[in-house]
Amino acid sequence: MTLPLESGRDRGAVRLPASRASLILAAGLVVVAVLRPPELHPGAAAACGLIAAASLWFTTMSPAVSRLPAWIAGFTPFALVAFLGAANRATALDETALLITLLIAAGCGRAAGRQAGHRESLLRLLVVLGSVVAIQALWQSLISYPRMAAAVRGIDPADPSGILVRLESGRAAGPFLLPAALGGFLALALPAALRGLRAWRGVWRAAAGVATILIGCGFVLGRSMGAIVAAAAGLLPLLPLLAPRRRARAAWVAGGVAIAIIAVFAATRIDEIRDPAGDPFGLRAGNWRVAAAMMRDAPWFGSGPGSFGSFYPRHLRPGLNESRHAHNSYLELAAGWGSWILLPIALLIAAWVARMRSAWLDPGDGTASVFLGAGTAFLTHNLVDFTMFLPGVAIPAALILGAAFGATDPAPERRAGHPGILPGSLLRAGGIVVAVALALHGVTAARSRHLLDRAVDVARRGDLAAADQAAGAAAKLRPEDPAPRAFLAQMVLAEKPGKASAAAGAVAAAEAVARDPDSAILHYTRALYHRAAEESAAAYRELSEARRLNPTKALYRAAEDDPPSAGPPPPGGPGE
The Cα-based distances of 187 to 145, 370, 416 in angstroms read 23, 11, 33
Of 179-183, 233-237, 334-338, the one with minimum mean pLDDT is: 233-237
The Cα-based distances of 350 to 2, 163, 346, 353, 404 in angstroms read 9, 43, 6, 5, 14
User: Positive or negative, the Cα torsion across 409, 415, 421, 423?
Assistant: positive
Q: Which of the two residues, 302 and 190, has the higher pLDDT score?
A: 190
Of the candidates 268, 283, 281, 261, the residue with the CA atom closest to the CA atom of residue 169: 268
DSSP conformational letter for 144: I
**How does pLDDT run across 44-84, given as a tens digit for each residue?**
999 999 999 988 887 776 654 444 455 666 788 898 999 98
Of the candidates 484, 367, 438, the residue with the CA atom closest to the CA atom of residue 120: 367
Does 99 score more than 80 pLDDT?
yes
Q: What are phi and psi of 389, to 5 degrees?
A: -100, 5
CA-based Rg of the chain, rounded to a whole angstrom?
25
Average pLDDT over residues 369-374: 94
What confidence category does residue 412 fall into, taking pLDDT thresholds of 50, 70 and 90? Answer: low
What's the pLDDT score for residue 93?
A: 94
For residue 420, the cross-strand partners are 69
DSSP conformational letter for 290: H
Does 232 score more than 60 pLDDT?
yes
Q: Tally the C-alpha atoms within 13 A of residue 315's C-alpha that lie toward its C-beta.
A: 21
Q: Which of the two residues, 166 and 144, has the higher pLDDT score?
A: 144
Please write down the long-range contacts of 9-12, taking CB distance under 8 Å and 24 or more positions apart. Answer: 9/59, 9/62, 9/64, 9/65, 9/66, 10/409, 10/415, 10/417, 11/64, 11/66, 11/415, 11/417, 12/64, 12/412, 12/415
Percent of the chain surpassing pLDDT 90: 39
Q: Residues 1-33, buried b or exposed e (16+ Cβ, 10 A)?
A: ebbbbbbbbbbeebeeebbbbbbbbbbbbbbbb
Q: Are the beta carbons of 55 and 107 closer than 8 angstroms?
A: yes
What confidence category does residue 413 fall into, taking pLDDT thresholds of 50, 70 and 90? Answer: very low
What confidence category does residue 465 fall into, taking pLDDT thresholds of 50, 70 and 90? Answer: confident
What's the pLDDT score for residue 7?
A: 41
What's the pLDDT score for residue 6?
A: 42
Does 469 score more than 70 pLDDT?
yes
What's the pLDDT score for residue 366?
A: 84
User: In terms of C-beta density within 10 A (0-12 exposed, 13-18 middle, 19 or more buried), how is residue 249 classed?
Assistant: exposed
What confidence category does residue 314 fall into, taking pLDDT thresholds of 50, 70 and 90? Answer: confident
Average pLDDT over residues 238-265: 70
User: Positive or negative, the Cα torsion across 208, 209, 212, 214?
Assistant: negative
What confidence category does residue 2 fall into, taking pLDDT thresholds of 50, 70 and 90? Answer: very low
Percent of the chain surpassing pLDDT 70: 78
Q: Tally the C-alpha atoms within 13 A of residue 559's C-alpha that lie toward its C-beta.
A: 16
Average pLDDT over residues 284-299: 86
What's the pLDDT score for residue 318?
A: 72
What's the pLDDT score for residue 313?
A: 85
What confidence category does residue 10 fall into, taking pLDDT thresholds of 50, 70 and 90? Answer: very low
Q: Tally the C-alpha atoms within 13 A of residue 16's C-alpha that lie toward its C-beta.
A: 2
**How does pLDDT run across 535-552, given as a tens digit for each residue?**
888 988 999 998 888 888
What's the mean pLDDT when you consider all of the chain? 82
Does 496 score more than 70 pLDDT?
no
Q: Are the beta carbons of 231 and 219 closer than 8 angstroms?
A: yes
Does 250 score more than 90 pLDDT?
no
DSSP codes of every residue in 499-510? HHHHHHHHHHHH
Of 83-87, 449-453, 554-558, the one with minimum mean pLDDT is: 554-558
The Cα-based distances of 37 to 217, 221, 403, 500 in angstroms read 21, 19, 21, 40
Which pTM value belongs to this model?
A: 0.86
The Cα-based distances of 248 to 191, 234, 244, 543 in angstroms read 18, 15, 10, 60
Average pLDDT over residues 103-113: 88
Distance CA 428, CA 4 (A): 19
What confidence category does residue 212 fall into, taking pLDDT thresholds of 50, 70 and 90? Answer: very high
What's the pLDDT score for residue 67?
A: 42
Q: Are the beta carbons of 545 and 114 closer than 8 angstroms?
A: no
Average pLDDT over residues 503-525: 90
Q: Which of the two residues, 563 and 123, has the higher pLDDT score?
A: 123
What's the pLDDT score for residue 5?
A: 44
Largest CA distance in the chain: 80
Q: Which of the two residues, 11 and 362, has the higher pLDDT score?
A: 362
What's the pLDDT score for residue 29?
A: 92
Of the candidates 524, 569, 525, 574, the residue with the CA atom closest to the CA atom of residue 546: 524
Q: Which of the two residues, 415 and 458, has the higher pLDDT score?
A: 458
Q: Which of the two residues, 317 and 133, has the higher pLDDT score?
A: 133
Q: Are the beta carbons of 77 and 464 closer than 8 angstroms?
A: no
